[in-house]
Amino acid sequence: MTAPMTTPDFEPTLALPPAPAPALRERVQAAIDSKTKPLGALGRLEALALQLALIQGSDAPRLVQPQLVVFAADHGLAAQGVSAYPAEVTPQMVLNFLAGGAAVSVLARQHGLVLTVADCGVAAEFEPHPLLVRLKVDGAERGSADASRGPAMSRTQCETAIAQGRRLVAALPGNALLLGEMGIGNTSAAALLMARLTGEPIEVCTGRGTGLDDAGLARKCAVLQRALDANAAAIASASALAPLAALASLGGLEIATMVGAVQQAAAQRRVVVVDGFITTAAVAVAAALQPAILASCVFSHRSQELGHRRWLQQLGVQPLLDLDLRLGEGSGAALAWPLLESACRILGEMASFESAGVSRSSA
């Protein structure tokens, strides 16, 4: 008999705030329409302002103490040659984040974002650092197992990672969470989750990641198909909790921790700024459990990774930017951040026709 996916002390979901009242949407939209501009002239910035208001349940949304968290972990699947880079790059990049030399470090400084690095299962031990939080999971301190041979995580390890993501966000100040990640092999984990959650062929979900050539991409697809086959029975037996079964079998520890972080952020009315393909995987798992979570998420950009465009379309969301990025780290989320600030300022500070004494269109 198959064991249940959850243990008695673990809840797969968190209670979310009630849906915003229609009256709030109507008031905010009326305020946007009354600004000194042609109707709809600020395009998607207007839709973003409305979304932020609805997330916070306020006519005057404000963004306070934004937190950018880079969730890092290693993947046993990397031993199968699914990345152009060796696994030791994960701990090396963590040190780069802590030293302030990575792209996301630069962008976080530029935009006033507080950067935290969460060690969810990196195959190294780090000296204590003010920016570093240790969230390793018992039995998976050096990362997830090789999913091409069986489950990447046990049920307990997956649930522990989710719980730790919730606790991390609950302890952070502010009302906005920007998602970043690092882990050699994690585009493979994301592609596996996309294939399982959407039913798309693995070839449609799998991209070049860190820059694989054609032969490397073909090898990656073959490895990922083996992983899907190796875990198919365990996932299928989980029925209603299949998203969590897929996460445990195919995902990474950083993705599982992000799932909990997204759940906690949505439960606290925080704005969640989603980065690229891997962070989308975490949001997709959370949304498969609770579709309303998507309302709290602003998708920062469409990455170059092959499956990302299609996955965003299937989720029914539109990203803010399309800059051909494929770096990860939270770089796209940081680049999009000023747009969220601008949307709040337009709603809160831009004059209306009445207050400015400007005549409306006669059309």
- Residues serving a catalytic function are 329
| C-beta separation of 284 from 193 below 8 A | yes
| C-beta separation of 50 from 58 below 8 A | no
| C-beta separation of 321 from 340 below 8 A | no
| C-beta separation of 108 from 141 below 8 A | no
Angle between helices 186-198 and 277-289 (to 10 degrees): 40
CB atoms near residue 149 (< 10 Å): 15
Residue listed under structure tokens 């673990």: 10
- What's the helix, strand, coil split of the chain in %, to 5? 50, 10, 40
Q: What b/e readout covers 250-275, taking b as 16+ CB neighbours within 10 angstroms? A: bbbbbbbbbbbbbbbbbbbebbbbbb
| C-beta separation of 45 from 342 below 8 A | yes
φ, ψ (nearest 5 deg) of residue 32:
-65, -45
CB atoms near residue 281 (< 10 Å): 31
Provide the β-strand partners of residue 180.
70
The residue count of the chain comes to 363
